[in-house]
Chain A
Amino acid sequence: MLWSDVLIHFALVIILTWMGIQDRRTREVSNVLTIPMLAGGVVVMIIQLIARDHLAVVGSILIIAVLTFAALRGWMGGADWKVLVGLFGLWPLAGFVSLAGAGLFGAGAILWTRDRHVSFPAIYVFAVASLLTFSAEVSIIAFS
């Protein structure tokens, strides 16, 4: 992994934290932050599809197809969908960890509240998951 990747991931963690704070306070996230993230992720995936690494991008696209189906059915907020699609394009590992983190948080919230339809600020969970992913990446680089 290059240091430029680490810097990009650090910038993404900061942006996600900002969005996570907004989501936790208001349960909404500004389109000024989410739409550029969606656009950036889609552009990176298109470039990767044209240039190289077809297999990894196809995996991300299949997961995004499932997420899009779910979002169109109202299973998740539009901001959550945009951030996850952007993450799968820009930083697929953090996208996968965020999705898994949301599932774990959702399971915990169901057990805690005994309500299957409990809602939670997902982007706040994505921010924490991305921060953990970034910490793991930096520690692997530091100790390798």
Chain B
Amino acid sequence: MANARVGIAEAAVVRNPDSVTTLGLGSCIGVAMFDSVNRIGGLVHVMLPSSSLSKTKDFNAGKFADTGVPLLLDMMLKAGASKARIVAKIAGGAQMFAIGGGGDSVLRIGPQNTDACKAALKKLGIPLIAEETGGNHGRTVELFCDSGEYEIRAIGKEKKRI
């Protein structure tokens, strides 16, 4: 079994028996997609909620929820997954630092990312069947293509599979 690793603003699609992982999600979201018949799984590491936040015309599609989620779906379909069978699970979207007055919106980026990923999935008609989002801690995630299970690991917490 091989393990593909996805960095910030990157996406990858793998097949059974492989897994795909991304390390140290904070306010970012790991959006996982899975087709249980072909056992094709994909993961994108989204950093920001909307490409409208981009200050440049050209940007890396994997960085934003509204472009990264469609990018991953496209990669899944190209790999042979069936859109009717693809389901999604998401993890991350933490608020890493307590807000200390001022209400700077950048500190609330985690919850905004969570909402934006959900909206992007809904727009594409991909059901979100499980999530492990929010809180104030970092997460490492891994999607296993043999089972479609999405494992979440955090410091000082029990390993969790959704």
Q: Do A and B bind each other?
A: no
Query: Which chain B residues have a beta carbon within 8 Å of chain A's beta carbons?
Result: none
> Contact residues of A with B, CB < 8 Å?
none
